[in-house]
Homo-oligomer: A and B are copies of this chain.
Amino acid sequence: MKYCNQCGGTVQSVIPNGDTNLRFVCTACEFIHYENPKIVVGTVPIHNNEVLLCLRAIEPRKNFWTLPAGFLENGESLAEGAIRESQEEALFTPLLGPMLAIVDVVHANQVHIFFRAGLTDNSFGPGVESLDVKMFSLDDIPWDEMAFKTGKIALKAQIEKEKND
C-alpha cells in the first residue's frame, strides 16, 4: 500500500496514538488503513463414505487436489459462502452439516472454516477453477497430492468423526 484510498495522499507505516500495531496512515488526511485476516470457507462433501475433491486449475497449487473452498465475501454468511464455493468449484449445491474444522493460517493472515456437507445427488463437475472433480474413498485420499494443509486437517477431522459415530 502506497496511497490513501480516501484522498489519494501518500501513506506511511506508523503506530497511531493509542494503538500498539503498525498501520498505514495517510500523511494528508490521517486516515488509518486497518488490515485484518480473511476467512476462507469450504465444505467436506461426503456421500457413501467417499469425499468429493477438486483438481485445481489455477495457482497456487495448480494440479493438486483440494476441498471446495474460497474467500468469504461481504454480504454473505459462513454457510452461504461455503455453499457458493461448492457451486462455483464443483457445480453442486451441498446440504450443509455442522462445522468440522476451524483452522488458523497465521502466516497467510487467514482463518479456514470447513463444514461437513452432503451431496443431494451425484450431479457434480469441474467449475472454471477446477480441472476435474472426483469422489475418493475416505480410505484412499491422495494425501501427497493435496493442495493445502488445512484441507487435510478438515478431512482428518471428518475421518476421526466417522470412527466415533
Which residues does A use to contact B, with CB under 8 Å? 1-8, 11, 18, 21, 24, 33-39, 71-79, 99, 102, 104, 106, 109, 111, 113, 128
Min C-beta distance of A60 to chain B, whole Å: 16
When chains A and B are docked, how far (Å) is the Cα of A73 from the Cα of B106?
A: 10
Give chain B residues whose Cβ lies under 8 Å from the Cβ of A35. 74
Min C-beta distance of A33 to chain B, whole Å: 7
Given contacts A3-B3, A18-B128, A102-B102, 14 further A-B contacts (CB under 8 A): A1-B6, A2-B8, A3-B5, A3-B8, A5-B24, A36-B38, A36-B71, A36-B72, A36-B74, A37-B72, A39-B111, A77-B106, A79-B104, A102-B113
Give chain B residues whose Cβ lies under 8 Å from the Cβ of A39. 36-37, 39, 111
Are B2 and A3 in contact, with the CB atoms below 8 A? no
Are B3 and A106 in contact, with the CB atoms below 8 A? no
Closest to A72 in B: B37
Main secondary structure of the interface of A (DSSP, over half): loop
Are A21 and B128 in contact, with the CB atoms below 8 A? no
Min C-beta distance of A70 to chain B, whole Å: 11
Are A78 and B111 in contact, with the CB atoms below 8 A? yes
Are B18 and A11 in contact, with the CB atoms below 8 A? no
Min C-beta distance of A58 to chain B, whole Å: 10
Contact check: which of B34, B38, B104 meets A77 at CB < 8 Å?
B104
